[in-house]
Amino acid sequence: MAAVLLMLGNGRSEMVGWTEEGTDEAAVVSTQTIAVPLPGPAQKIPLKIVHPPEGASLPAVKSSFVFGWADPQGTLTVNGQAVKIHKGGGWLTMVPYSPGPFEVRADLLLPTTSYAAIRRVTVASPPTVSTPTVLTVLQPELSLTLQAGERVLVEAQGPPGREATFQVEGVPKRFLMEEVLSNGRGVYRGYFLMPEGNPFKDAVVRVALYDKKSWVRTNATAQGRLTRLDRRVPMVVEVATAPAILRAAPGPATGGKSGYVMFPPEGTRLTVTGRRGDEYRVALTATRDAWIGVDDVKMLAGPVGLSPARVSAVSVEPSGRHTLVRAALGAKIPFEVRPAEGGRVIDVLFYGAVSDTDWIHYRGTARSVTRVEWFQDDGETYRLRVHLKPGSWWGYDGRFENGSFVLELRRPPENRNHPSSLAGLKIALDPGHSADRGAMGPTELLEKDANLAIALCLEKKLMRAGANVFWVRQGSENVKVYDRPKRAWDARADLLISVHNNALPEGANPFERTGYGVYYFHPQSHLLAEKIHAAYGAVFRDGKGASGARLRDDGLHYGNLALARTPQMPSVLTESAYMIRPEEEDLLRTESFQCDCAEAMFHGAVEFVRDFRRLSEK
């Protein structure tokens, strides 16, 4: 039997040797250097590890998935454990990892030849809980700009059982710190109130630990510095990017962001009340703050202050099949749109506004709005409550226009004779990914290609039903993620379906998460997501589709995803299958399965439109 070692790694040159069985020659009779390509399975390389990539740095996980392809006629082991090869050539397994340099080895035994493929990765070490020997200041880890009287947390970690104090540059007092954890971790905390008075900018925070036994003092300095915000000079910024995001809290210094609150349009003015790292804290009201990225706004020059905006006359008027609610405002201030009561009410909250609303005008026949009323919830929050006819709208756009705020309530074209008809609807299709490729399967099927194939089949079904299809991404076109919902809205689409297929983060178990899932964000998109999710179940629960495939239900989910966040139309994101599972990747290569997925989306859209119109008629 011949022995062949293929060190397959990102197109590098590798050493390969072989013999023909039945000869009298040595086990390896010739050796040569060749370039190993990265083909699809059709090129018949017998064995390849696709994931993890060569040289990858993995997080601190105890185990994770490894997948690739192999000749189905062979017997495969990965790090000594037997692994099943799917009939399509893909394979998937979980490998236990240990910290540090780690080698994944796959061995394929064929009747006359054996092959081996190796991946070398580095696995991070898990955080250890040990008695610290060095003093480290943990907080403030980022520079802070705060108002006088605000509290600053100072936190340090060092040898336990010491006396801890801290000092702030420019303040003569030394502040005591308390050891808050007595389990040997040596965590010390203290607090400091931002002072009034003299200029206070980029002040350094120093922590000292004192060992009473050895009389040794240890010192360390915080990474973040402290600055006091001068409240006498209002600091006003203007939103300069789209989309900008106001968040509920500052993000952690280690990465990531906090939850989304609202999406202020360009030109919205905000009063800054503090800063942490690269995020500004802005005041919505005296009791409510939000956070926005420093790079998302521009500073307004000179002493600019924000006086309360006055909301005067309100009007309601038809605009084709849609309805416009206008409020004369005169300033671009933060606002929040809140649908409630099952779509029967929309509240629009204006922060930094007071009422001067003596008139509400109803012009023409507005198909969605029954009446409008206003409330002054507090001295800085004006609330416009729009009462709506059930089933009369399914998307909204809130914007500033010619000195007024406009709420556009959007609805589909009516069709009383055929309520389930999609004729005349414009449906935006977004095949997810392109330049970034998305996920990859064991036989190197790219998610972007699978998404496009499903979307093409869905297009045929939609067009046969009389719908107009708008492509958010065509072919291999590269469209940035935040440009995609904008394209759908610019095209004035009525529905948006973003087509994806799933994968898992490192360390997750792909044998526990499989099948189809559907994601929505706004309440008005929940019914569409629910109908498409149910249609997936009808196709795949009992294998009734053309492919005969049976898939597990991975659930209906609220998901904070850019494509699902499009408020102007019901918007959903579908995940038809898990790319990294060989059997599901193999299905995704077949037209019958692609069109089964498309059929679920199509049927769900038809059911949604029918139920919506029937509710509207009632």
Residues (pLDDT < 70) of the chain are 1-44, 182-184, 253-255, 302-305, 618
- Closest by CA position to 333, among listed 435, 423, 428, 403: 403
Q: Greatest CA separation found in the chain? A: 103
Fold of 2-123: Immunoglobulin-like (2.60.40)
In the chain, list all ranges with CATH 2.60.40.10. 2-123, 136-228
The CA-based angle 257-260-263, given to 5 degrees, is: 120
- Closest by CA position to 58, among listed 91, 99, 94: 99
Place of tokens 């309601």: 316
In the chain, list all ranges with CATH 2.30.30.40. 236-299
Give CATH superfamily name and number for 136-228.
Immunoglobulins (2.60.40.10)
What does the pLDDT read at residue 20?
28
CATH tag, 236-299: 2.30.30.40
pLDDT digit string (tens) for 263-320?
A: 999 999 999 999 999 999 999 998 999 999 999 999 998 666 678 899 999 999 999 9
What does the pLDDT read at residue 13?
30
**Which two three-digit tokens encode residue 520?**
């929505």
Query: What predicted TM-score, i.e. pTM, was given to this entire model?
Result: 0.87
DSSP-derived pairing of the beta strands 360-362 and 369-378: unpaired
- C-alpha span between 558 and 173 (Å, rounded): 50
CATH tag, 426-616: 3.40.630.40
What does the pLDDT read at residue 54?
95
Using CA atoms, how far residue 53 sits from 56, 295, 476, 493, in Å, is 6, 34, 24, 40
- Closest by CA position to 165, among listed 144, 152, 179: 179
What does the pLDDT read at residue 44?
64
In the chain, list all ranges with CATH 3.40.630.40. 426-616
Distance from CA of residue 216 to its chain's centroid?
Answer: 49
DSSP state of 531: H
What does the pLDDT read at residue 544?
87
Using CA atoms, how far residue 100 sits from 57, 103, 125, 612, in Å, is 9, 10, 7, 56
What does the pLDDT read at residue 303?
60
Which residues are CB-neighbours of 546 under 8 A, at least 6 positions away?
Answer: 592, 595, 596
pLDDT digit string (tens) for 221-242?
A: 999 999 999 877 788 999 999 8
**Which two three-digit tokens encode residue 79?**
């790090």
What does the pLDDT read at residue 30?
26
